[in-house]
Chains A and B, each alone.
Chain A
Amino acid sequence: AQSVTQPDIHITVSEGASLELRCNYSYGATPYLFWYVQSPGQGLQLLLKYFSGDTLVQGIKGFEAEFKRSQSSFNLRKPSVHWSDAAEYFCAVALGDSNYQLIWGAGTKLIIKP
């Protein structure tokens, strides 16, 4: 069965430090890949997505993610985090354009140290 794994439940980084959040998926073909952020009291917001083409994708709020087919990974990165980045981050995959269902990872909670 298809699955999405986010191996880190919590990550703590200092403000201004770099960030990498891991996401691995299990699927035979290349899925459509997404990163969402859920801030306290707010709805989920799409950060970025990958469908095809350049494997390094840029998103909002200074985030980027790199698709690595050989590793079945789609890790999220940011060069310098801000206190406002504290939130929960979810990786999700869709198994094709006509497949409306998103399969979600369990999320990674990002904590920012002042």
Chain B
Amino acid sequence: GAGVSQSPSNKVTEKGKDVELRCDPISGHTALYWYRQSLGQGLEFLIYFQGNSAPDKSGLPSDRFSAERTGGSVSTLTIQRTQQEDSAVYLCASSLWAGSYNEQFFGPGTRLTVL
């Protein structure tokens, strides 16, 4: 595609429910990143993929958070038993390869609201 796409753009859920957030990276990009942006904060790194592998999951805030990537393309971030503090904008980015020299291209984000 022309850019990184994310769905849904907005998600409102009740506390305790599970949610899935989807990211479609730019075609041909092998690296994919998930970030969380809370109100008034910078971006918080969550996890990245090189291909289908996630070498570092240390940014995931709790074991309620998980992510997978299939076919080296689409990625899904799953939050189980959502809490109000999970409310934030979740951003996905992709780059040709992982590493600082490679520009990360960002999607428009999914705004998650947990009631």
Number of B residues whose C-beta is below 8 Å from A? Answer: 26
Check A43–B42 contact: CB distance below 8 A. no
CB nearest neighbor in A for B93: A44
A16 at the interface (CB under 8 A from B): no
Check B100–A41 contact: CB distance below 8 A. no
With A43-B107, A44-B91, A46-B103 as given contacts, are A100 and B33 in contact (CB-CB < 8 Å)? Answer: yes
Work out how many contacts link A and B, with CB atoms closer than 8 A: 57
Q: Which of A45, A51, A90, A94 contacts B43 (CB under 8 A)?
A: A90
Check A96–B40 contact: CB distance below 8 A. no
Q: Which residues of B contact A94 (CB under 8 A)?
A: 100
B62 at the interface (CB under 8 A from A): no
Distance A106 CA – B41 CA, assembled complex (angstroms): 5
Check B48–A100 contact: CB distance below 8 A. yes
A88–chain B nearest beta-carbon distance, Å: 10
B108–chain A nearest beta-carbon distance, Å: 5
Footprint of A on B, CB under 8 Å? 3-4, 31, 33, 40-45, 48, 56, 59, 91, 93, 98-101, 103-109
